[in-house]
Amino acid sequence: MLIGHRGLAGLAPENTLESFRAAAAHGLAMVEFDVRLSRDGVPVVFHDDALERTTDGTGPVAERDWAEIAGLDAGSWFAPTFAGERVPSLEQVLRLCRELGLMVNMEIKPDAGREADTAGAALALALRLWPDAAPPPVISSFETACLEVSRRAAPAWPRALLAERRPADWRERARRLDAAALHLDHRFLEAGPVAEIMAEGMAVRAYTVNDPLRARLLRNWGVAALFSDYPHSS
Ligand code: G3P
Ligand code: MG
């Protein structure tokens, strides 16, 4: 299965509503996006800790209120045709994904010291908005503290331990968090570790895979899903 990375970041500006529409239009069933907090505590869908790369704003997201962030242009950097595209709130993204019938992987990306606040706000909102009948969001994070909050807030929602490389203590951490999967950087993956993780009853999902040949190899190893910026058929 292919999971659209930041919506479908190769074809539309990452983590914007257009990016989620592009994923649905290309037939993807699931998308990944990143959640962080504005200064005034609104969960926003945005990857970097600073605004410069993907908007016409400056400075850390955590030092801007949602009203300021909402007015920024998050599309022009990608291509002129996307000028005026906005940074969406988590609420907007969850509502759109439901409308489009997309499954979601909510990656919690907290600023240092805001781990519990970020996960708490994101989970509270998602629990309120996400219909029981739909497949539950997969919650992932590089930060164990976020997954602990998620486990308490939504024990039945699947959690995934996110890391570049499989951590040495992955078994203990996964057990403690009752994690269903590991999300790992494909560049450091090998067949053996994939098999070991699967033998523990967990799935492996790999990011960010934009090469169909690499995708085929990962699938042969048993990798369950691939995060990709592009739709491709492998
Ligand atoms: O969740 C998978 C992947 O998105 C993790 O890395 O930096 O793209 O958020 P990053
Ligand atoms: Mg991410």
The predicted-structure confidence for 12-47, as pLDDT tens digits, reads as follows: 999 999 999 999 999 999 999 999 999 999 999 999
**CATH-assigned architecture of domain 2-51+88-228:** Alpha-Beta Barrel (3.20)
Cβ of 14 closer than 6 Å to ligand 1, yes or no, is no
- The CB of 20 under 6 Å from ligand 1? The reply is no
10 Å Cβ neighbour count for 168?
Answer: 8
Which residues, in sequence order, are CB contacts of 123 under 8 Å at separation 6+?
A: 139, 149, 150, 153, 154
Indicate if ligand 1 lies below 6 Å from the C-beta of 162: yes
Q: Look at ligand 1, atom 5, and give the residue with the nearest C-alpha.
A: 207
The amino acid sitting at 43 is P
* Cβ-based burial of 225 (10 A; exposed 0-12, middle 13-18, buried ≥19): buried
Which ligand is closest in space to the CA of residue 185? 1
Spatial distance between the Cα atoms of 31 and 104, rounded to a whole number of angstroms? 5
User: Cα–Cα distance between 140 and 15 in angstroms, integer?
Assistant: 16
Any ligand 1 atom below 6 A from CB of 227: yes
Q: Is 232 a catalytic residue?
A: no
Determine the distance separating the centroid of ligand 1 and the alpha carbon of 110, expressed in angstroms.
Answer: 13
Of 89, 228, 104, give the one whose Cα is nearest residue 154: 104
Spell out the per-residue pLDDT of the chain, length 234, in tens: 999 999 999 999 999 999 999 999 999 999 999 999 999 999 999 999 999 999 999 999 999 999 999 999 999 999 999 999 999 999 999 999 999 999 999 999 999 999 999 999 999 999 999 999 999 999 999 999 999 999 999 999 999 999 999 999 999 999 999 999 999 999 999 999 999 999 999 999 999 999 999 999 999 999 999 999 999 765
Domain coordinates in residue numbering, the chain = 2-51+88-228
Residue corresponding to tokens 């486990």? 151
Between the CA of 183 and the centroid of ligand 1 the distance, in Å, is 9
Q: Whose CA is nearest to atom 6 of ligand 1?
A: 207
At residue 135's C-alpha, the angle toward residues 204 and 127, to 5°, is: 105
Cα 208 to ligand 2 centre (Å): 9
Residue in the structure block whose two tokens are 């299965």: 1
Q: Is 107 in the pocket of ligand 1 (CB under 6 A)?
A: yes
* Residue 87 DSSP code: P
Determine the longest span between alpha carbons in the chain, in angstroms.
48
201 contact partners, CB below 8 Å, separation of at least 6 = none
Write the pLDDT tens digit of every residue in 173-193: 999 999 999 999 999 999 999
Please state, in angstroms and rounded to a whole number, the distance separating the CA atoms of residues 196 and 80.
46
CA distance 36 to 134: 24
Q: Which of 5, 26, 183, 232 is catalytic?
A: 5
**Which of 48, 208, 226, 228 for mutating ligand 1's site (highest number of atoms within 8 Å of CB)?**
208
